[in-house]
Amino acid sequence: MLLIRSLGQEQYARQINQGAVGCRDLLSHLFCRTDNKYPYADFYEALFSQVRRGFHPHMLAIHGLSDWQMQLVAFLLDPLVADTYMTFFHIADVEKTEKWLDSLDDGYFIFIDPHFAVDESICGKNETAYYCGSRLRYVEKAEDINVRETNLACPGIATVFADSETYGCCSDINERTIYTFNLIASFTPLMNRILGPGTSETENEFRYLIRRKRRYYGRGLYSPIPNTSTLISCDGKTYKVQVRTWKSSQVQGVLDFSINLIPCDGRSKQLDLITAMQNGSDINIVPHFYNLDIKGTSNRWGYIGNKDKCKRFIERELKGGVRHRKGRDYHTHHGEWDRLIAVRKMDDSYCDGDGVILRSPEYGAYEMKQGQRVLNDKDLPA
The domain limits of the chain are 3-220+288-379, 231-287
pLDDT-derived band at 261, boundaries 50, 70, 90: very high
> Is the model more confident about 130 or about 229?
130
How far CA 134 is from CA of 236, 337, 343, in Å, comes to 37, 19, 10
Rounded-to-integer distance, Cα 174 and Cα 286, Å: 37
Supply the pLDDT for residue 51: 83
- pLDDT (tens digit per residue) in 40-96: 545 546 778 888 887 776 676 688 888 889 889 888 888 788 788 999 899 999 889
In angstroms, the CA 139 to CA 25 distance is: 25
373 has a pLDDT exceeding 50: no
Per-residue pLDDT tens over the stretch 111-164: 999 886 555 677 777 777 888 888 898 988 888 888 888 887 887 787 778 877
The torsion angles phi and psi of 76, rounded to 5 degrees, stand at -65, -30
Give whole-number Cα distances, 138 to 158, 191, 198, 239, 365, in Å. Answer: 22, 9, 13, 37, 27
pLDDT in tens, 321-368: 556 566 789 999 988 776 655 444 443 333 333 334 433 334 333 343
* pLDDT tens digits, one per residue of 171-216: 888 888 888 888 888 898 889 888 877 778 999 999 999 988 877 7
Task: Tell me the pLDDT tens digit for each residue of 211-227.
Answer: 888 777 776 666 655 55
